[in-house]
Amino acid sequence: MNERPSHHDTSPLISVRDLHVSFKTDDGLVEAVRGLSFDLGRGETLGIVGESGSGKSVTNLALMGLIPRPPGRIDRGQALFHGEDLLRMSPTQLMGVRGRRIGMIFQDPMTALNPLMTVGQQLTEMTQKHLALSAAAADARAAEMLELVGISNPGQRLRDYPHQFSGGMRQRVMIAMALSCEPDVLIADEPTTALDVTIQAQILDLLRDLQARRGTSIILITHDLGVVAEICHRVLVMYAGRVVEQSGVNELFASPRHPYTLGLLRSLPRLDRDHSRRLEAIPGQPPDMTRIPTGCAFRPRCGVAIGRCESESPPLREIGPGRFSACWHDDAARVAPSSAAPADGSDGPGGSS
């Protein structure tokens, strides 16, 4: 796991090892993240993909020190950032990191913006606090940031309140805020999910462009494989709190190795493909996280499961340069028999009934 398949500086910027996060709920203990390890390289865009309950957003919250405790708990693990463990920082230390060195973008900008403050006040608050800029310098910087994210007439717009911006513009404001202290890392949790496709295209262009110009590392959390294909360099595919596949983006899409990744890609309707064929759905339901299946969590939905998958959980193993998969099947041919998706239906085990 130490190898870095990247074209950049070799030491990782963030290094997460064996992260375990759980929540106490009325239905029992939910192990939301079960032993997650990954590195984020400099100037890299790392995609974390998964469906609801995969643990992708909880991972983000854990890194940011935003897990509500209780009911949440970080049971184990470390997340090194410049040699310091994000998971063990005091609230005061975290304040110095969040916003300053790690910027955040959320799905819904209205939850991150204060409706009672103008956009200018919010942007200058950050830079005055973190960078100790004078009021005048902070104003100039705020206008510069709005311009950077493509908001026209920035001097004027600084005096506006968040509700005076449209959804796409608010997302830009949030990106401007996240970038205003020139963080090393940007964590974007479903940054375009609430946006229309034409606006999504604008925001993805913006992120790509900002990264090219500033070399910011990005962790992009999403359920949308199309977005991943557009801007990520490397991808972690999560299922039931674990990474099931980790790979460079081109290899992942060209030859997915985990049956879950393969199933996801096959189930997607595509604009650029023949649509007369029936979609190959993954049968069953995502697991109920209070009752995660024994062994491999994907087994009940897997078309190539064998006896061992039920008794033993497959570890994430290196299967090629920079490629990891958590599946007992070693060779790609067995995982991907020409078109072996079983018939769909909703009665698969693992449903929440």
Partner 1 sequence: MTPTPILEVRNLKVHFPFSRGGFFRPQRGVIRAVDDISFRIAEGETLSLVGESGCGKSTTARAIVGLVKPTSGDVLLQGTRVSGLSDREMRPHRRVVQMVFQDPFASLNPRMTIGSIIGEPLAIHALARGRDLKLEVLRLLNLVGLNPRFLNRYPHEFSGGQRQRIGIARALAVQPKLILCDEPVSALDVSIQAQIINLLMDLQQQLGLSYLFIAHDLAIVRQIATRVGVMYLGRIVELAPAAEIYARPVHPYTEALMSAVPIPDPVESAKRRRIVLQGEVPSPDREYPGCAFAERCPLVQDRCRRDRPELIRIGAADTTTLAAGTPTNVKADTSTGGAACWVRAPQRDESAK
Residue 287 or 295: which CB sits closer to partner 1? 287
Exactly one of 275, 331, 333, 339 binds partner 1 (CB under 8 A); that residue is 275
Residue 51 or 125: which CB sits closer to partner 1? 51
Task: Compute the distance between CA of residue 272 and CA of residue 111 in angstroms, rounded to an integer.
Answer: 36
Exactly one of 202, 214, 255, 290 binds partner 1 (CB under 8 A); that residue is 202
- Give, as ranges, the residues between 281 and 300 that touch partner 1 (CB under 8 A): 281-283, 285-286
C-alpha Rg value of the chain to the nearest Å: 21
Task: Compute the distance between CA of residue 327 and CA of residue 315 in angstroms, rounded to an integer.
Answer: 7
Collapsing DSSP states into helix, strand and coil, what is residue 79? strand
Choices 38-46, 59-67, 105-113, 275-283; region in contact with partner 1 by CB under 8 A: 275-283
Locate 62 and state its tokens: 């854990």
Site pattern 16..55 for partner 1 (x: CB under 8 A)? -----------------------------------xx---
Exactly one of 220, 280, 316, 324 binds partner 1 (CB under 8 A); that residue is 280
Site pattern 52..91 for partner 1 (x: CB under 8 A)? x---------------------------------------
CB 261 within 8 A of CB 244: yes
Terminal-to-terminal C-alpha distance of the chain: 37
Task: Compute the distance between CA of residue 246 and CA of residue 1 in angstroms, rounded to an integer.
Answer: 10
Query: What are the backbone dihedrals phi and psi of residue 81, each rounded to the nearest 5 degrees, phi first?
Result: -135, 115
Bridge-based pairing state of the strands 185-189 and 102-105? parallel
CA atoms within 13 A on the CB side of 321: 3
Site size toward partner 1, by CB under 8 A: 53
- Interface ranges with partner 1 (CB under 8 A): 51-52, 166-169, 196-202, 204-205, 223-230, 249-250, 253-254, 263-265, 267-272, 275, 278-283, 285-286, 301, 344-347, 351-353
